[in-house]
Amino acid sequence: MDPRPNGAPSTSQRWWPPVMLDPDWVSAHHEDFDVFHLHFGFDAQSPAQLSALVDALRRHGKPLVYTVHDLRNPHQPDPAAHDAALDVVIPAADHLVTLTPGAARSIRGRWNRTATVLPHPHVVDLTRLSRPRPDRDRFRVGVHAKSLRPNMSVLPVVRVLADTVAQLPDAELRVNIHHEVADPASPSHAPQVLTALAELADQGRITLTVHDYYDDEQLWDYLESLDLSVLPYLFGTHSGWLEACHDLGTAVAAPDCGFYAQQRPCLTYGHSQEHGLDGESLRRAVLRAYEERPVSRARVEHRMQERDELAAAHRALYASVL
């Protein structure tokens, strides 16, 4: 567990830059760990700060392993800051891991480094994963706008979905969004988006739910209530949301940016920052999901075997860098 900064309350849900990214923490605690394995959390670190971290690890003889989840940071509209961070971390790492062959090829092309490809483990606990999906008599498509992360283009996707779903018998479109989008004091405040969604709801074209962040069980209930979860991303690399849907047996329509289709089986539609939205491909993905009702649910025994294999792979790579 990441240490809390001095003065941070134990009940806080607020994000802070991980204390372990501080070179002084490494110097004070280098005898407490063998390998420094980085996944996320360095968004706020400058290249100079990351270079100081790398120097501290080298000074104390501690190998750095980095799992490259994001080649493009979904929280940053401008890729420059994340690119600069990767330009420090990826060349410096003693071993690289990523989730898909496409990401590994990109890493090879950009930095001439080899990344071990290992799948993402299950995110839903095994007890919940084995529970039967609830029965329902309607085909339900869902878009979760969350707090309008910078890599989301929600309204164009929702409008195409509303037109498509309206033509399908016994089908509905549900759109969820967080309360903070309606809060003028929130960085996520976007009244124009909320107004447009409310108008669609008033017209009976969508069911709109505005709510606080879901806890894990609420999120699993929500995902299980859907037949198709549409990811409205303009850019990105991999997705934990997609993994949860795979665990729960909910089909996913993912954009063709990033490497989502290599991560787990899913439907794909055209959507990227470079080319915008291909509405026809999105419509085809929904129609295919409606007609075929594809089910690609993780099996408990497969996820258990996968987890054991991942643990063994990580143990071997840690041994190799030591």
Domains defined along the chain, listed by start = 19-122 (3.40.50.2000), 126-292 (3.40.50.2000)
Contact predicate 252/266, CB 8 Å: yes
Average the pLDDT over 39-44 and give the result. Answer: 93
Q: Of the candidates 20, 21, 2, 22, which has an alpha carbon nearest to the alpha carbon of residue 12?
A: 2
State how far the Cα of 320 lies from the Cα of 314, in Å rounded to an integer. Answer: 10
Q: Give residue 295's pLDDT.
A: 80
pLDDT in tens, 73-83: 999 999 999 99
Does the global pTM surpass 0.85?
yes
Burial of 293 (0-12, 13-18, 19+ CB in 10 A): exposed
To which residue do tokens 């891991």 refer?
A: 97
Percentage with pLDDT > 90 across the chain: 92
Average the pLDDT over 136-146 and give the result. Answer: 95
State how far the Cα of 68 lies from the Cα of 110, in Å rounded to an integer. Answer: 13
pLDDT at 104 over 90: yes
Average the pLDDT over 213-225 and give the result. Answer: 97
pLDDT at 8 over 60: no
Q: Give residue 111's pLDDT.
A: 98
Look at phi and psi of residue 81 and say left if phi exceeds 0, alpha if psi is from -120 to 50, else beta: alpha
Q: Give residue 137's pLDDT.
A: 85
Average the pLDDT over 211-224 and give the result. Answer: 97
Q: Give residue 173's pLDDT.
A: 98
Contact predicate 253/231, CB 8 Å: yes
Reported as a pLDDT band with limits 50, 70 and 90, residue 235 is very high
Q: Give residue 9's pLDDT.
A: 42
Average pLDDT, the chain: 94
pLDDT at 179 over 60: yes
Contact predicate 65/30, CB 8 Å: no
pLDDT at 239 over 60: yes
pLDDT in tens, 267-315: 999 999 999 999 999 999 999 999 999 888 999 999 999 999 999 999 9
Which structure tokens are listed for 120? 């993402």
